[in-house]
Amino acid sequence: QLQLRESGPGLVRPSETLSLTCSVSGGSMTNSDYLWGWIRQPPGGGLEWIGSMSHSGDTYYSPSLRSRVAIFVDSSKGQFTLKLASVTAADTAIYYCTRLFHYPSGGYLWFNPWGQGTLVIVSS
């Protein structure tokens, strides 16, 4: 059973770069049907898609974060990484890593499974 787990600092100073890693176990990252990415949720708030990337390097980012975000996939290590630059308090959130399956001709998609999430607080 595929499992994802986030890791990284829980506290980041304003203007610095947030960096999180997702470790994938129980399955391969090289299946071209899937993308790997990040979703965040501010405390008490809703879900926001950050971006997704295929193992071959195709990337898709949220327009509101595109200028600050980068996602990297290392299939050989079973990991993918999120980097979010120039953070502010508004970036304080629980960050989830997840796998995306997207089937355009069928008109459906899903994010599954999700990591347990990691809280990142932006504060000096």
Partner 1 sequence: SSELTQDPVVSVALGQTVRITCQGDSLRNYFATWYQQKPGQAPVLVFYGKYSRASGIPDRFSASTSTVTASLTITGAQAEDEADYYCSSRDSSGNYVFGTGTTVTVL
Binding site for partner 1 (CB under 8 A): 39, 46-49, 52, 60, 62-63, 96, 100, 102, 106-117
- Minimum Å distance from CB 13 to partner 1? 26
Under a CB-based contact definition with an 8 Å cutoff, are residues 97 and 20 in contact?
yes
- Minimum Å distance from CB 81 to partner 1? 19
Task: Assign 3-state DSSP to the chain and report helix, strand, coil percentages, each to 5.
Answer: 5, 55, 40
- DSSP structure class, residue 104: G
In the complex with partner 1, which residue's Cβ is closer, 14 or 45?
A: 45
Rounded to 5°, the CA angle 15-17-21 comes to: 155
Whether omega for the bond prior to residue 113 falls within 30 degrees of 0, making it cis, is yes
The Cα–Cα gap between 76 and 101 comes to 20
- Minimum Å distance from CB 41 to partner 1? 9
